[in-house]
Amino acid sequence: MSAKSPASLSGRVALVTGGVGGIGTAICERLSAEGATVYAADISGDPGSVPAQVLHAECDVSSEASVTNVMQRINTEQSRLDILVNAAGIEIEKTVEETSLEEWNRIFAINVTGTFLTCKHGLALMRQVGGGSIINFGSYDGFIADPGLAAYCATKGAVHALTRALACDHGPDNIRVNAICPGYIDTPMLQSFFGSSGDIDSLKNEVRRVHPIGRYGTPEDVANLVNWLAGDEARYASGQLWVLDGGLTAQAQQMRL
C-alpha cells in the first residue's frame, strides 16, 4: 500500500478542458502546483491568466477532429495521460419553450458530447500507462432544477449518468471516473449574473445567507476537490457524484418566515 503523498502529482499529465475559464484556471494552477504537467484546452485561443508553465491548447470539445488533435499532441509530447478534467461547459438561461433546437443541440454538443469525446479519445492514453482519473463536471442542477435553465439541467443529468457508465465500463482498466457537482461558485459567470440585478450587495448577502456555510464557493474550493479526486488518496473513489455546494442542497427551500 504505497499511495503517493496526497500533495504530489509529479510525473502526471493532466488535460483540463475549459482550462482558461473561471474554474478551469484554478484547476490548472492547482494541478500544476502539485507537480503535474498540465494542458489547458479551451475554445479560446487566449491563454488568459493560466500560469506560464501550463501548456495551452486551443480546442473545441464539440469537434471530434479538434479533440483528437489535442490527444495526438499529448501522446506525441508526453506519451501518457493520467488526469482528464472536463470543465468546459456553457449555460443557456431559458425554459424549454424558449430554447431553440439549435441552442439545445449547441449546449448538448459542448456539455455532453464534449465530455463523451474527450473520454472516448483519452481512455486509450490512460490505459497505456495503467490507469487514470477522469473528473467530469456535473452540477447540483443535475439533481434539482433552477428556474429557466432547462437544457442546462438536462445536460448535467446526462453527465451524471455518463459518469457512472464510464466508471463501470473502465474500472477494470484502473480508470476512475467521478463527477463534481458544484452549487454557487464565484466565477465571472456568477458575477455577470449578480451585475444584471439592481442591488448587488444585498443580493450577494441573501445568497450567502441561504448557504449553511455562509458563503458561496470559490474556484479554489473546486480545485481542492479536483486535486483530491485526481490523486492516489482517492484511489477507491469512482462512479460518484460529488456535490460541492456549502450545504445548500442539504436543505429544503429556505422560505422567508
Partner 1 sequence: MGGQLKNKTAVITGGSRGIGRSMVELFAREGAQVLTCSRSERKDPLPQGISSLTADVSRSDDVKKLASEAVSRLGKIDILVNNAGVQVEKTVVDSTDEDFEALMSVNTWGVFALCREFIPLMAGNGGGTIINIGSISADHADPSMALYNASKAFVHSLTRSIAVDHGHQGIRCNAICPGWIMTEMADAAFDLADDPDAARADALARHAAGRFGQPKDIAQAALWLASDGASFITGQTLTIDGGLIAASPLRPGFF
Query: Contact with partner 1 (CB under 8 A): which of 146, 165, 191, 213?
Result: 146
Query: Contact with partner 1 (CB under 8 A): which of 147, 172, 192, 201?
Result: 147
| Alpha-carbon gap, residue 139 to 185, rounded angstroms | 11
Q: Judge whether 152 counts as a catalytic residue.
A: yes
Position 213 contacts partner 1 (CB under 8 A): no
Position 189 contacts partner 1 (CB under 8 A): no
| Alpha-carbon gap, residue 216 to 167, rounded angstroms | 30
CB of 242 to partner 1, least distance (A): 17
How buried is residue 180: exposed, middle or buried, by Cβ count under 10 Å (0-12/13-18/19+)?
A: buried
Position 207 contacts partner 1 (CB under 8 A): yes
Q: Are 96 and 123 in contact (CB under 8 A)?
A: no
Which one of the spans 57-65, 115-123, 218-226, 243-251 is the region binding partner 1 (CB under 8 A)?
243-251
Which one of the spans 50-58, 159-167, 224-232, 247-255 is the region binding partner 1 (CB under 8 A)?
247-255
Residue 143, classed as helix, strand or coil, is coil
Query: Contact with partner 1 (CB under 8 A): which of 184, 186, 238, 240?
Result: 184
C-alpha closest to that of 152 among 89, 197, 195:
89
Query: Contact with partner 1 (CB under 8 A): which of 140, 150, 152, 229?
Result: 140
Max Cα-Cα span within the chain: 61
Residues involved in catalysis: 152
